[in-house]
Chains A and B, each alone.
Chain A
Amino acid sequence: MAKIKGAVVIDKERCKGCEVCVVTCPTQTLALAVEVNSKGYHFSYAAFPETCIGCANCAVVCPDGVITVYKVKVG
């Protein structure tokens, strides 16, 4: 069966670290970073990029539109 693999690109300078994407991710791919961006926010990043399925839920709920999602069929 074809599997879908996704990837997220997060503009960390625009991210405000609200964590809404983290709780909405069905595969727990995202997490907030320990370090901060230039504004002092703990930005979101793909902690487990291999589990991403490219569903784009994170990007859809992101209030600041910082997430871009790509997905590709493999196998």
Chain B
Amino acid sequence: MAEVTFNDIIKPENLAYTKSKLMTNNVMHYCPGCGHGTAHQVLAEVLEEEDLQSRTVGITPVGCSVLMYNYIDVDFQEAAHGRAPALATAVKRLMPDKFVFTYQGDGDLAAIGTAETIHTCNRGENILMLFINNGIYGMTGGQMAPTTLDGMKSSTSPYGRNIATMGSPIKMADIVALLPGTCYVTRQSVNTAGGVRKLKRALKKAVQYQNEKRGTCFIEVVSNCPSGWKMTPVESNKWMEENMFPFYPLGDIKVPSEK
């Protein structure tokens, strides 16, 4: 049998994977290896596969992902720092047939926006909250965030976070899981292909629960920040597996009972 050449394989009918059509061709401003890019890709894939492009409104946060609307081709609204859940509440209540999601980092969701986050989850608004947790303020220069681990160095805790004076890191997903308004709370990662595929399944479940109007869905994505952590992307993923995952264990925290 003749050898199959490269040009024989590169044909549209043999396509196994390409980036989602909802991703624009703009080059992302994220640092090399940043988990934000991967999270955007998965989100765009799910929105495309669930045919949600025309009825999605995304709420962008303040942080590295503030320019997210340049990369995913759906409607977006920019919120003030930390207020994405409040804005999402308004959008969802005014346009109940829209699929509304917020996309926030840990400085946005867990620090300045804690009140909005907790009360939105407590009210059980029918929105999807996507929380990217990299344990640091990435955009402003790697300052300590509420989710920074014990002993972890950042530009404002150069000797490592000291729990006695700076408090313990906050597990936001575990906190909102206690509230009656949330229906689905899970923690995922995007550092491996398996992790990305699991996140995709979680997002599809969340879309299903949103269509059924079952309450707030909260998906935490443990991510990396190679620039803020001062590591290469591969080192940062390894560091994340060794240090972040023991404190922020992956998996479902709250799943709704089947109807």
Binding site for B on A (CB under 8 A): 5-7, 9, 14, 16-20, 23-24, 41, 49, 54-72, 74-75
Contact = CB atoms under 8 A, between A and B. Distances in A.
B37 A5 contact: no
B64 to A, nearest CB: 12
A56 B19 CA distance: 11
B232 A19 contact: yes
B16 interface: yes
B34 interface: yes
B33 A19 contact: yes
A41 B36 CA distance: 19
Contacts of A55: 193
A62 to B, nearest CB: 7
23 contacts: A5-B4, A16-B32, A16-B33, A18-B32, A18-B234, A19-B232, A23-B234, A23-B237, A54-B16, A55-B193, A56-B16, A60-B193, A60-B196, A63-B30, A63-B33, A63-B35, A63-B38, A65-B23, A65-B41, A68-B15, A69-B16, A70-B15, A72-B4
Interface of B: 1, 4, 6, 8-11, 14-20, 23, 27-28, 30-38, 41, 190-193, 196-197, 226, 232-234, 237
Given A17-B32, A63-B30, A71-B9, A24 B37 contact: no
The A interface, classified by DSSP as helix, strand, loop or mixed, is mixed
Contacts of A17: 32
